[in-house]
Amino acid sequence: MIANLKIITMRDVMPEPVEWLWEPYIALGKITVIQGDGGEGKTTLATAIAAAVSRGDALPGGYSPISGDVIFQNAEDGIADTIVPRLEKFGADVDRVHFIDEANMELSLADERIEQTIVEKSARLCVLDPIQAYLGGANMNSAGGVRPLMKRLGAVAARTGCAMLLIGHMNKNGNGRSQYRGLGSVDINAAARSVLTVGRINAEENMRAIVQNKNSLGPKGTSLAFSLDPIHGFTWQGKCDVTIDELLGNKKKPESQFAKARRLIETALARGPVSAADMFQMAEEEGISPKTLNRAKDALGGHSFKRGCQWYWDLPIVVEYADVSQDGHHGQEGQPADYRDGHENNMTTMTALTILPRGEVV
């Protein structure tokens, strides 16, 4: 019989509520991963979160703010010339932000100094950026190498009540599911109770989305947006409807009704005027409302004209007049067919660019 065998009955365990640093995105006493491609704002986001905690400011969502000291380890940027200026730019209380000196000995997830520093400073948040730099030589693609480290770090988080925030790069497999996009073993994301993915919104240069693609502690949080403006810097932009598939490029965002209406008008009127009645009928079949159809028509510069008893829609055409002599011979480029149809070639020489409504008599 094993002498140190210890069995605990579930009835003897008192249930405890989850405590949050930022509900429902980052829990206290748990591991959270922020992942994304390079240059998408992962470290900037982590800095914004660290600054808010150091000041005791609320993060987006309106939940009660958590105030506390922060451990901020970054293996890719200089402390003096990059990390401290960033923190100051975010208005962090730098007296409450600390880092473990790695000059003589590099830090790893198994290093006792992490727990010692958290306890000494009563830290509420510990940032390790990037996680791949703190594996202590373990093969990051091997479950056998990563799993013990993550288990140990999870135990430190549980004992201290500190939120562990790991920043991770993503691999180049653009078609993979989100849990397999993290660089390294899937055991990194498996050990995390929350995984947040950061990426560009619709390829816009300055807009980013945060999508929670894993939450083992409750319902997933709403996607959030922030901007990285060259002038105004980091700014929270509130909630957004971006999904993880859209963020990773696995699924295109559904076409909006307005975009569908524009496409319908451009296609239907490509060869000339179409009756307004037919346009509204086609729109109804596509599930497009008359109001949206009219908005799209106005956006495209479309116009209406009456022929007999019926109204028609048409799009303007661009007519470029080339050099034309009085006998109708063209210059170097000649007139386009859309202009020549129905017009006599008796123009004097001119060069101009204009827009004509195709359905009216000119």
Within this chain, do residues 299 and 183 fall inside the same structural domain, yes or no?
A: no
Within this chain, do residues 278 and 235 fall inside the same structural domain, yes or no?
A: no
Strand partners, 195: 33, 214
Mean pLDDT in residue range 101-110? 94
- Whether pLDDT at 268 is above 50: yes
Within this chain, do residues 171 and 205 fall inside the same structural domain, yes or no?
A: yes
Within this chain, do residues 100 and 32 fall inside the same structural domain, yes or no?
A: yes
Report d(CA 231, CA 214) in Å as an integer: 33
Phi/psi of residue 59, each to 5°? -95, 165
Within this chain, do residues 215 and 298 fall inside the same structural domain, yes or no?
A: no
Query: To 10 degrees, what angle do helices 257-268 and 290-299 make?
Result: 60
Name the pLDDT band for 223 (thresholds 50, 70, 90). very high
Mean pLDDT in residue range 271-293? 92
Within this chain, do residues 59 and 163 fall inside the same structural domain, yes or no?
A: yes
The pLDDT value recorded for residue 233 is 87
Can you read off the two tokens belonging to residue 189? Answer: 């994301």
Q: What are the angstrom distances between the C-alpha of 176 and each of 90, 170, 172?
A: 34, 11, 9
Q: What percent of the chain has pLDDT over 90?
A: 60
Within this chain, do residues 328 and 201 fall inside the same structural domain, yes or no?
A: no
Report d(CA 193, CA 217) in Å as an integer: 7
Is 362 among the domain residues? no
Within this chain, do residues 271 and 138 fall inside the same structural domain, yes or no?
A: no
The pLDDT value recorded for residue 344 is 40
- Whether pLDDT at 245 is above 60: yes
CATH of the domain at 280: 1.10.10
The pLDDT value recorded for residue 323 is 44
Within this chain, do residues 240 and 283 fall inside the same structural domain, yes or no?
A: no
Buried b (16+ CB within 10 A) or exposed e, 26-46: bbbbbbbbbbbbeebbbbbbb
CATH of the domain at 171: 3.40.50.300
Which is more confident, 350 or 223?
223
Is 1 among the domain residues? no
- Tens digit of each residue's pLDDT (9 = 90 or more) over 68-80: 999 999 999 999 9
Total number of residues shown for the chain:
362
The pLDDT value recorded for residue 229 is 85
Within this chain, do residues 216 and 310 fall inside the same structural domain, yes or no?
A: no
Report the run of H or E that residue 115 belongs to, with start and end: helix 112-121
**Mean of the per-residue pLDDT values of the chain:** 84
Domain of residue 295, residue span:
257-314
Within this chain, do residues 165 and 233 fall inside the same structural domain, yes or no?
A: yes
- Tens digit of each residue's pLDDT (9 = 90 or more) over 143-202: 678 899 999 999 999 999 999 999 998 876 544 445 445 555 688 888 999 999 999 987
The pLDDT value recorded for residue 256 is 83
- Whether pLDDT at 142 is above 80: no
The pLDDT value recorded for residue 137 is 85
Name the pLDDT band for 305 (thresholds 50, 70, 90). very high
Count of structural domains within the chain: 3
Within this chain, do residues 150 and 233 fall inside the same structural domain, yes or no?
A: yes
Assess contact for 134 and 99: CB atoms under 8 A. no
Report d(CA 171, CA 184) in Å as an integer: 8
Is 4 among the domain residues? no
The pLDDT value recorded for residue 274 is 93
Report d(CA 25, CA 111) in Å as an integer: 26
Phi/psi of residue 113, each to 5°? -65, -25
